[in-house]
Structure formats: structure tokens, C-alpha cells
Amino acid sequence: MAKEVKFSLVYRDMWQSSGKYQPRVDQLEKIAPVIIDMGCFDRIETNGGAFEQVNLMYGENPNRAVRAWTAPFNRAGIQTHMLERALNGLRMYGVPKDVRHLMPKVKKAQGVDIMRSFCGLNDPRNLELSVKYAKEAGMISQAALSITHSPVHTVEYYMGIVDKLVEFGADEICLKDMAGVGRPATLGRLVNQIKTKYPHIVVQYHGHTGPGLSMASTLMVAQAGADVIDCAIEPLSWGMVHPDVISVQAMLKDAGFLVKDINMEAYMAARRLTQEFMDDFLGLYINPSNRISTSLLVGCGLPGGMMGSMMTDLRGVHGAINMALKKAGKPEVSFEELTVQLFQEVEYIWPMLGYPPLVTPFSQYTKNIAVMNLLAMAQGKPRFSQIDKDSWSMILGRAGRLPGQLAPEIVELAKKQGMEFYDGVPQDAYPNALPEYIKEMEQNGWDRGQDDEELFELAMHDRQYRDYKSGIAKERFNKEVAQLRAEKTAPTASAPAGQTFAPNYLNQSHPKSEPLVATADGQIIWELDFDSRSVPPTPGRQYREGETFCTIQASYALVPVTTQRAGRLVDTCVPQGGRVKKGDTLGWIE
């Protein structure tokens, strides 16, 4: 009898790998019955990753969105799954232990069946609690391997991790090929060994199409025994996203597998609705380059999901690099040349950093170092002249053990700067925190929500949740969309399509407060993390005198803006990446 291969629609990741935001809850409710009518999906990825965070950022309650989105699939018998980042939960940095414990309880109550958990470093210590807590909550625990290609990441290496995950009690294993650089034959051998040793374990393959290998990988893992394949649908398939279900279904059917038929009328309806959502506002945040595959990714291994933020970073430093090259009497570089240089720089420094799999957040950290290296070298400085604090956390082992060895020069640099390496359990650095968040909710008169879901959102995304509750998030988002639409209809040389700039900041004022002003011409960087989702600090935050408020990427250097007095932040008026002139107001403090 032919082996059955099932399909999962990664609708959340389709948007995540294309742009910045996810559809609104009314849009999700509109497309859910159409996806069900397609008849070919046994699973759908509904939430996790950036889903809840971006809901908050545009002023929508993520808990209502998850419940409304999962409900029709629950009724139809289609399994729902989410993505979480182990130690980092649903965000980019470590999460307290009790908050991680609460998460699967909340998500199970909201209708999510499967918790896909990955550690970007493949450190089993970070995954153990994810497996434990998912099973305690009654969810299916799917532990993911962050797939990449290096001398370290062999089949034997991955099988050692699988052994640990099965020992922890994981029900399923996902091959998370986030950059699509997994080699098809190697992935086939890995799946074969998993199914041979653990025949009861369900194996799901998740492969992005960026470098063009994932269709071959899909066939190889299916032939080796994989049970479920992640797919996308047009107009958000291929490019940096995922293979389209039509092509995957046709390929596997021809290979003799038992696969479900696709209701093409429903497929076209889902395609039209997805395009409708893009035309509404989501397309404003989708970089056209994400629709294109490139074999250059085979070498650097960067994932499709961060291409948009990476291009924003490069545009931000392109002028500064050319200015430095011009001063040194060297030829300037085009944006395309700079992009290739970045790919090559990532490929060069990746082994030096211990081969961290390039997946969130470690892809961002590695990319940040590479971008700053390009700027430093253009200025005549050595590599690694500037490394941000989050990247240092990865290097020092605070996020988990690196798969490979650090280069001696990186170790020496850490010692020169008086930094200490950490080999303890990463979770120990993030003690319980729910009592403090409960106290904050009580003081504000906020309801903890059904199944403590509002408490969870505050604890997981505290800054974004406070902005959501105050209404600032919705106001900021509406201004941002209005600005992007204006730029789209009337582009200027100083406002490239897709770039967010400060909305009318010269017209804003807080007469009783002291303004914080730009100390140079350039591009605003909040928290120096180059994350396209970064937002200004929340009003009400207390600052010490002389504390760094933000950083300006000027043509000649990174210029900090510091507070001239201690006080409370009243408001800000420049988004991440906004361009300012020296003397412009950035915010107000009182």
C-alpha cells in the first residue's frame, strides 16, 4: 500500500518570511473556511513566532486572533500548530521559566494542538522544558532541529540531538530547514535514521525555497519516511518562502505517494483573498526581493525570513560605507555589490563564530556583526570593531552552547574586553517573573483574561502589550501605514519604497517637557539591534542623566544620543530607520 504523506499550510510563516505583519483577525476569519475547503491540508500553522507580537504592534488583541483563527480548524478536525523558540519563547531574548510554563497552557486552551519548539543553537538544554511543558498542557510536542550545512552539522550530530529529544518525551521531530540550505541526500539519510531508530516518531519537514534545494529535499525526505510536508500557496509561495502545495502534491503523487487532492476552486479563492490582504496594507511591508530565489544563499545560509530586515540594514549603511570609501580614495560600491559583500562576509565569519545555525535570533546576530564589519573595514578599522550586546550574549554562551569552536581571535577579543564565558544552563539566567506581572496588572486594573491569556501576553511581550493597552500602538501603526501609502503614491529620492520615516515629527510638541534632539544627520537605530520590528521606547520609561537614548547611523560613525537630564519619557516621534537632521526632535523627557 502506498505511504501517505500529509500537508501542512504554514500560513503564519508565509507572511513572516515575506514581510513584517500578519493578517488582521477579520481577514483570518475570512480565509479559514476557504483553506478548509481546499481539502488537502491535515495541519495548519496558525500562530507563534512573531504572530502575537505583531498583533500587539498594530493594536489588535492577539488572544482573540488566535482563538478566532484556530476555532474553524478545530471544528473541521484539522490540527493547528504554533512555533516557539524554546528559551526565547515568542520573542528574541530569554523568557522567565514560569512564563514558558504558562505558554502551552494558554495556547492549548486557545485551540492550538501542536507546539513546534526549536532552539537556534540546537542546545537540548533549552528544549527540555519546551517538551515537558507542552506535554503537561496536553499539547503534542514537536521538537525541531535547526537545519544548516557545515562540517559540524552532520547526520550523527543531529541524531545525537534526536536521542535527547526522544528521551525528553517529544512526540514528533521537525526538520526546520529555515534557509533551505539542507542538502537533499543528507536530509534523506537523517530522516531514514530517525524513522529506523524511532518508527513511532512523526517527522515533519519544513524547507524554505530561497536557494532552490527544498523541492529535491522534500522528495528525498518523503522517500525516507517523512510524514508531513510544510507548504505554502500563491501569491506567497516560492522565493524566500516555501514551495507551493500544488507542485509538492504533483511531485509526490507522481512518485507513488498517497496524497490528498486539491480543490482548485478553493485554492484560487484562497489565492485571491491572500492577494486582497496584501493590497489592503500587508503588501506595504513586503520587499519585492523576497519573491526571488537566489543560489547565493547556498554559501551564506541566511534564512528567507530575515531578508527584508537585512535589506533595510544595508540601505541604512550603504551611504556611510560609500562615504568612507570615497574619503579613502577607493571606488564606491553599488547596492547589489554590497549585498554580495554581505553574503560573503557572513560566510567568512560564520565559522569564526562557532557555526550558529542561522535562524532567529542567531541569524540576526551574525548578520549584525557582518554589517558592522563591512562598515568598519570601509572606515579602515579591523573586523569585529563593534559587536552589539545581544551578539556578545550568543558568543559568550548565554543563549546556549555553540555547535562549533570560536576562532582564537574572538576568544582573545572577549578577554581583552573583560567578558566572561558562560557554561551554565541558559534558563537559570531568567528567574520566575509572573508575580511581578500579576502585580502590575492588579495596579492597572487589567483583567488577567480567560485562562490567564492576557497575563501571558504582558509577560511575553511587556513593552508591546503596554503600548497596545494605552492605544499608542494603534496610533503609531496607523501613522506608519499612512506614511507608507503616501510614499507609495508619491515616492521621492529621499524616501525609497518600503522605508518608514518619522511622521510629521517637526509638527509635534510637548511644551512642558524637554526635547531630545538629534546630534547628527542620519538614520535612527533603537537599541542598536537592527531588528526591523524594533520600536521606540515606551512612554513612561525612566532615564538616568547621560543614558543612551538611541543611536544615529551617521555617514561617518555611529553617534549616540544621550539624555541631558534624568526623567520620564513622555513620547517619541521617530520610528526605527527614520532619517533625521541634526537638531531634529526625537522625543521628550520630563
Nearest CA among 192, 197, 188, 137 for reference residue 165: 197
Q: Is residue 491 part of a domain?
A: no
pLDDT in tens, 66-89: 999 999 999 999 999 999 999 999
Do residue 388 and residue 505 come from a single domain? Answer: no
Is residue 295 within 8 A of residue 179, CB to CB? The reply is: no
Do residue 265 and residue 306 come from a single domain? Answer: no
Q: Is residue 455 part of a domain?
A: no
Determine the Cα–Cα distance for residues 444 and 81; give it in Å rounded to an integer.
Answer: 33
Nearest CA among 168, 438, 165, 73 for reference residue 47: 73
Determine the Cα–Cα distance for residues 45 and 442; give it in Å rounded to an integer.
Answer: 34
Do residue 522 and residue 579 come from a single domain? Answer: yes
The cell numbers describing 377, all together, are 573595514
- Label residue 149 exposed, middle or buried (CB < 10 Å: 0-12, 13-18, 19+): buried
Do residue 139 and residue 264 come from a single domain? Answer: yes
Of the pLDDT bands very low, low, confident and very high (cuts 50, 70, 90), residue 493 is very low
Specify the number of domains making up the chain: 3
pLDDT in tens, 517-565: 887 777 788 765 444 445 678 788 888 877 888 888 765 556 778 887 8
Per-residue pLDDT at 65 exceeds 90: yes
Residues of the chain with pLDDT > 90: what percent?
Answer: 66
Of the pLDDT bands very low, low, confident and very high (cuts 50, 70, 90), residue 398 is very high
Residues 96-130: b if buried by 16+ CB within 10 A, e if exposed: bbbbbbbbbbbbbbbbbbbbbbbbbbbbbbbbbbb
Determine the Cα–Cα distance for residues 572 and 534; give it in Å rounded to an integer.
Answer: 13
| Radius of gyration over every alpha carbon of the chain, rounded to an integer in angstroms | 23
Q: What is the pTM of this model?
A: 0.83
Q: Specify which of 58-72, 276-290, 365-379 reaches the highest per-range mean pLDDT.
A: 58-72
Please indicate whether residue 456 or residue 500 has the higher confidence score (pLDDT).
456
The H or E element spanning position 275 is helix 264-280
Residues of the chain with pLDDT > 70: what percent?
Answer: 92
Where does a domain end: 427, 443, 466?
427
The H helix count followed by the E strand count for the chain is: 21, 16
Where does a domain end: 377, 408, 427?
427
Is residue 374 within 8 A of residue 338, CB to CB? The reply is: yes
pLDDT score for 496: 39
Q: Is residue 168 part of a domain?
A: yes
Which amino acid does the sequence have at 505? Y
Is the bond leading into 361 cis (omega within 30 degrees of zero)?
Answer: yes
Do residue 364 and residue 320 come from a single domain? Answer: yes
Find the mean pLDDT for residues 374-403. 91
Nearest CA among 231, 169, 230 for reference residue 200: 169
Q: Which residue has the cell 488582521?
A: 24
CATH number of 540's domain: 2.40.50.100
| Residue 423, number of CB atoms within 10 A of its CB | 9
Do residue 274 and residue 381 come from a single domain? Answer: no
Domain of residue 45: give its range.
Answer: 6-286
Do residue 42 and residue 188 come from a single domain? Answer: yes
Q: Where are the beta strands (DSSP E) in 10-139?
A: 41-48, 79-84, 114-118
